[in-house]
Amino acid sequence: MTGLQILSSPADIQGFKPSMGSVLVGTIIGAFLSGIVTMQVFLYYRIYPRDRMAFKLSVALIWVVDLLHTSMASAANWEYLIENFGNDSIADHITWTIAVTIALTAVITFFVHMFFAHRIFSLSRHNYLITLPIALLALARLALALVSTSKMIQLRSYHDFVQYWAFIFTAGLSSATAVDIMIAGALIYYLHRSRTGFSSMDAIIDSITLYTVENGLLTSVTTLVSLICWVSMPHNLIFLGLHFAISKLYANAFLATLNARKVLRGRSQGSSDRSDHPMPVLFSENLSRMSRNGRFTSRHDIEPITTKVQINVEKTIEYDGEEVEANPSSEISYPPSSPSKDRAETRKVSMAV
């Protein structure tokens, strides 16, 4: 079987308070994390108004799916705690909103996994041996989650779902943890290869490496703990409370990566070393400037671009309504005029760049 403790009856859903309490606390924590996601979305559109349209649409999609996830979790709490107040047997019932949160979490997880897989693909110089397994495993995680959602809606019972389809949910959480570890490991490896030997640039790469480790550990540990609770305690819904936070952590990791670009790029360009390096991973559009050994091209190694400026001066002298054009270096013949009449002189200067 799956190693799970199979429930013999719906009555084995023990502990109404731990189950419903976990769902409530998980929803509250998820709402807090969703607020952070909204703040990061606001910062993104304010800091990067001219960013690529693909990034803008991705951020909007993540934000909408995250808000929908929070709404579904809140609706589940309403049905569990308000509409069925005092009904302990409701702990075995799977609402359709709970089932939808599983699918929405998988959608956000898949999108973020593919985002980082693309970064690895660029950083590894299109290495399919590294990125293809990550992409396939991320796709498998999405498919398993969608199957879990459909079976939850169909069965509407945690007892029946654990008894017949628990291995699907277990495989989905396991694959998500595996993808997190693979992404973090690949990024750390290629970031280490991107070290330049310049102290300032290497310090920034170290910061990105630490950031990668922290985000990878945060998402993978949360997913792993939810998996452990699911395998060891299928008689309650503690795993579900942890599962609510997973999608929020992935969304925040994605948005934090986008919003950190300007700060890190500024640090790179403000380096006191003789280098102006593009940031790896975060700024993959500049990876074409990397050499084969993984080092970057210095701005001092690039031939400077010069601009020629040509200034043309046109001088016009007006006497008694008559105009005479003259070159500044040539002699000027003035027409006879009355001494009593005022002379007006105008100059026209044009600049061609």
> Encoding tokens for residue 155?
């069965």
Q: Can you read off the two tokens belonging to residue 58?
A: 């991705």
Residues 247 and 331 in one domain: no
Q: In 3D, which of 57, 142, 131, 136 has the Cα closest to residue 108?
A: 142
**Whole-angstrom distance, CA of residue 238 vs CA of residue 253:** 24
Query: Does a structural domain hold residue 285?
Result: no
Q: Which residue has the tokens 């985000």?
A: 215
**Full domain range(s) for residue 154:** 13-269
Q: In this structure, which long-range contacts are made by residues 165-169, counting pairs with CB atoms below 8 Å and at least 24 apart in sequence?
A: 166/2, 166/4, 166/230, 166/234, 167/1, 167/2, 168/144, 169/102, 169/144, 169/230
- The rounded distance, in Å, linking the Cα atoms of 70 and 26 is 10
| Number of domains comprising the chain | 2
pLDDT in tens, the chain (353 residues): 443 443 434 444 455 677 888 899 999 999 999 999 999 999 999 999 998 999 999 999 999 999 999 999 999 999 988 888 877 778 788 999 999 999 999 999 999 999 999 988 988 888 899 999 999 999 999 999 999 999 999 999 888 998 899 999 999 999 999 999 899 888 888 877 766 666 666 666 766 666 667 667 788 889 999 999 999 888 888 899 999 999 999 999 899 888 887 766 665 555 444 333 444 445 444 443 443 444 444 444 434 444 444 545 454 444 444 444 444 444 444 444 444 444 444 444 444 33
* C-alpha to C-alpha distance for 44 and 256, rounded to whole angstroms: 9
Q: Is residue 6 part of a domain?
A: no
Q: Any idea what the CATH number is for the domain that residue 30 is in?
A: 1.20.1070
In a domain, 239, yes or no: yes
Rounded Cα–Cα distance for residues 110 and 36 (Å): 20
Residues 97 and 188 grouped into a single domain = yes
Count of positions (residues) in the chain? 353
Please check whether residues 186 and 240 belong to one and the same domain: yes
**173 vs 30, 138, 237, 287, 302, CA distance in Å?**
18, 11, 15, 33, 48
